[in-house]
Structure 1
């Protein structure tokens, strides 16, 4: 798989709106509190997700992996900034599918140090260097899942090793999810803002080790095409019903009750020509409103060649679903900037 998830947090909601209200389905845990909100972060290239957790609330955000990992490598990267604070928080946590904490990377916002701990709370390593509040950093962490003391956890800041724990046995329990921001100590809410988030594993031949600093560009539908089978809730332009931020679920949507219906949309050109592309993620927001089977296929199209994921619709509320394509379906090679800008989005009623 390699690249598992990409999120620039630009397509969910407006500045100050709660993640829990508009990002449902994208993540498996989203604290519904007044501090876990979208915030404008021009230095990160758009919006960020401000995560906030007080004592007893648990994690502000968590995402399950496609399947549990009992071997191999897992990685995560994002930009971050945190305010003046004296709290300690679980910054990044690798957990089992049932929520058991396996390993945690803690941030002491008072000292600026990072520490790596096991699930029992034993400190395995502490950074010699320190981070500074109100400063932007790129963070990337990698966990090697292995037995016989062959496992490790390393955190890099700006591409350089900041803290690492090696010679540890990390395959005792499979890793099923990753979580962010849980208060450990301190009197106030533990807050930090993340942006340009990505997750990866060690499979495949691309994006499978230390991906480095990346920026997520969000391209919304910008025009209809001749493929326009899905019915419009209102108006005459399909694309205009599905590019609202936030989505207007009650009155602005596309719908289909006919198997084989296809609608394809152009997208805005947002990627600078000079950039290399690690991957393209297509996201959709969908619900099913009646009984019986219903399957949505969706994904990018380039030069007439689609790459579609299939999602059985069982939810009775609008939820997000996503598909990552590291290779262009029309060339079987990594995307170029011009190809990503030329990509379309296809929606197909498959069952």
Structure 2
């Protein structure tokens, strides 16, 4: 395939892969007109003469244009395009009819989008479930439960495939069984650069069942500056954003800001005032976010109806705690507690308390970790 035979998308792929070429800068190059014209402008070192690009880059625009000219000289556009085609990556360009409608009509639409899986997986009700990588076991279990119930009710679970809350939400969406809505992930690297590496199995399962999306061509490494851009797409794809656990600052809060810019509904899970993992969600609630006390709240906000088995509680086979067991669960709450603290809160002697805790652990209601007792959301 000669350069004359390449589709316009091939040139946008090449431009997106240049060093320090973020979505805003690529969007400014879009103003140059046709894809080949934008590429020629970059190759000649004159990209900074494009006013929208100069405004986005700032005082270093001329220096950056020179760097792009040097880097573009080493790019074989045809080979890069064939690499994506041979890998089975779908490439969508703004306005070409392949871009998901939510993104094509967004406040900051991508110029080019790469998909591993089916782009059609984004069509339908969507719920973004986000939160901290340093989540508590209770937070991860709640994200898993919300993800599962949303997927079973027909909601596409959207997240960023990060460790912690994101991974738990997607694992939950995949655990719902046949007939569930497909999961949608947005990542901040090329679709062949799994980050973090231990997320590889989950990444592949999401791509097989739904789609993994990126604004960056194959081979692009992750970079800190790429993740805020990734988070804006998570918000853009969502009807509802649920923050399960988050510190006061971080990627989840950036996603919330982007969701509010797009007038999306934001829910937050309340947590202990002593838990750093809940500092952000508690603050969101103080600012007017809707309360999420479980999957039912999310389903209502997204206009979804629980699957019959979920509504009947059939999928939670744990025997309901009674007597001392119920008192102990209320005393533990959602913050890890020591045995002494639970004894003080319940007034139970250590003997009966130990017996009841053993039963709660066998039944799947609590875990013991490093001398502390933690409540489990689900099996």
Larger Rg: 2
Normalising by structure 2, we get a TM-score of 0.24
More relative contact order, 1 or 2 (CA 8 Å, 6+ apart): 1
Structure number with higher helix proportion: 2
Normalising by structure 1, we get a TM-score of 0.25
